[in-house]
Amino acid sequence: MHSATAVCLAAPRGPVEVRRLDIADPGPGELRVRIEACGICHSDVMITGLEKLPLTPLILGHEGIGIVEALGEGVTQAAIGDRVGITYFGAGCGQCHACQSGHARYCAKQSNHGYTRHGALTTQAIVAAQNIIRVPSNLNPAEAAPLCCAGWTAMGALNEANVQPGQWLVIAGFGGLGHLAAAYAKARGVHVAVIDTNQDKLDFAKAQGADLVTLPDAARKTIQKEAGGAHAAIVFTASAAAAPTALSTLQRRGSLILVGLTTDTFPVSMTEIVLKGIRIQGSYLGTRQDLEQVFAIAAEGKVKPHITTHTLAEAPSLIQKLSRGEQTGRAVVKL
């Protein structure tokens, strides 16, 4: 038995607290990891607002980087001493069509760190070994942490959008995911237009190399005029109002990729979708290849996330800050 200091959600819609806990040894298919850094994601915010949870009290967090200190029975994915990354996707069933076709993240029986099982916002974590990724030793743990979710999800959505060099991509919501998607797109020679309600984030986007930035009210007119419409738009924000705005910026036969999680709905004109040949698709995390690509790009020094680092004690207030849309880039807790 080991002790750990962890960020816990006490109950559904309850307080987020820093607690001292006992951590058991890893079971079959599990690892015990000494966490070095963990990012805070909007999904953490969403989970704190759910009416029901499969596990409480729940250790939050799914952007963890750390050193393997113990192996459970049957674990071959890592060795003691390895630096690994922990993602939201814990394990799939391994038997369904999704698992056997390279899309295990859509497994209906999957487990998730920081939701159906304890997460990585803790000094010591017991995690599923199935989908951990080995992290290059030259990466700063705090800079690597957001790649486990923000980077992976951004890359997955960008690959779904299938924009080519010289084409235009709209990014709606320039937060932790949006700023990484923009960087990956720019590295491919794609033109990037950013929509956000926050002028500070638009200024940040411009400073990070966005070709065009605009507030939502002016988005359709600005992007249609300056770029002739976008080939694809990715909605990273959890605001449902962003979806029809992003849709309005598209060229005919353009693609709208939805990533931000919300229980809200948005109106859509079926006639417009049909007559313009618009494709609307959801994107959740990414493939294993997308995750490996993200870490390979980081190891080459091509793209770095914009982060702010914090202590474990600050995590509850950081989750509140993120819920208000006040976080620029990615907040990372160093342990």
Nearest alpha-carbon partner for 121 in 28, 4, 43, 210:
4
Mean pLDDT of 253-260: 97
The answer to whether residues 90 and 133 touch, using CB atoms and an 8 Å cutoff, is no
* Cβ-contact 5, 283 below 8 angstroms: no
Looking at residue 132, its pLDDT comes to: 96
End-to-end CA distance of the chain: 20
pLDDT one-digit tens code per residue, 294-309:
999 999 998 989 999 9
CA atoms within 13 A on the CB side of 125: 39
pLDDT tens digit sequence for 204-229 = 999 999 999 999 999 999 999 999 99
- What tokens does 202 get? 């638009």
pLDDT attached to residue 30: 97
∠ CA 65-69-72, nearest 5°, is: 105
Are domains 2-149+286-334 and 151-282 of this chain identical in fold?
no
Query: Do the Cβ atoms of 143 and 57 come closer than 8 Å?
Result: no
**What is the architecture of the domain spanning 151-282?**
3-Layer(aba) Sandwich (3.40)
| Stretch 74-101: mean pLDDT | 96
Q: What is the pLDDT of residues 96-151, one digit of tens each?
A: 999 999 899 999 999 999 999 999 999 999 999 999 999 998 899 999 999 999 99
CATH code of the domain occupying 2-149+286-334: 3.90.180.10
Beta strand 2-9 pairing with 58-59: antiparallel
Give the start-to-end residue ranges of the domains of the chain: 2-149+286-334, 151-282
Residues 67 and 36: beta-carbon distance below 8 Å: yes
